[in-house]
Amino acid sequence: MHVDAIRQGKLLEGLAGTRQTLEEMARLVRQDAGDLSIRQFALGLVQKCDGHQFNCEIRALFHFCRDEIIYRRDPVDHEWVQDAARTIGVFRTGDCDDKVVCLATLLGALGHKSRFVVIGRQPGQYTHVYLEVRTPGGWLPLDPTPERAAVGWEAPGMHRAHYEIWGVRGGAGVGLLIAAALLFCLLRN
């Protein structure tokens, strides 16, 4: 598996920092979803699914990220976004953004498009990220962070915003999504 080089830099504040983090997350997913070793790993996780049983694939990948990747917070005063190879092959741990990058990458390696969803109690003050995967029935929520979350579960009563991973790179589409105010997992007390 390809392990992305560690990139360091100053995280911008507020919504600009949220956009910066989401862009890095999406870059890692797009980069690694085509990696042969990631695909091979994903195929191993879905080996009990028959062909064309896409819901089985989605569930198997979700359960791996929920159950086998242990939740661990980022270092104090750092926003760490790691690629799927590092999450799977090095640490087997990560926070919400790491688990979601891993899941989106595995899904992408098997042809499933997904998008990020950020949530928070206040508009523009987002504290968590999960994803939705496109299915024939619409967008299906997948939150691998809560240990008991089921496929389709999402936290109730939260403000939400979406960030597209595939097909939208810069321009007005991203601007409109970001304008919905994205701020998650960045400014911890």
51 lies in some domain: yes
Range 106-132 average pLDDT:
93
Q: How confident is the model at residue 16 (pLDDT cuts 50, 70, 90)?
A: confident
pLDDT band per the 50, 70, 90 thresholds, residue 123: confident
How open is the CA angle 122-128-129, to the nearest 5 degrees?
120
* Res. 2: pLDDT tops 70: no
Q: What is the dihedral of CA 60, 89, 3, 17, to 10 degrees?
A: 70
Q: Token digits for 155? A: 């936290």
- The overall average pLDDT reported for the chain is 86
Report the C-alpha gap between 153 and 130 in whole angstroms.
Answer: 10
pLDDT digits (tens, 9 = 90+) for 59-69: 999 999 999 99
Q: Is residue 22 situated within a structural domain?
A: yes
Residue 188 lies in a domain: no
Q: Tally the domains of the chain.
A: 1
Q: How far is CA 133 from CA 59, 125, 147, in A?
A: 11, 24, 19
- Beta-sheet strands, E only, within 22-173: 70-71, 93-94, 114-120, 128-135, 138-142, 159-164
Q: Based on DSSP, count helices (H) and strands (E) in the chain, helices before strands.
A: 6, 6
Residue 77: inside a domain:
yes
Residue 5 belongs to a domain: no
User: What CATH number is given to the structural domain containing 171?
Assistant: 3.10.620.30
Q: Which domain holds residue 124?
A: 14-179
- Cα separation of 188 and 158, whole Å? 18
pTM for this prediction:
0.86
In a domain, 124, yes or no: yes
Token pair belonging to 48:
């009990």
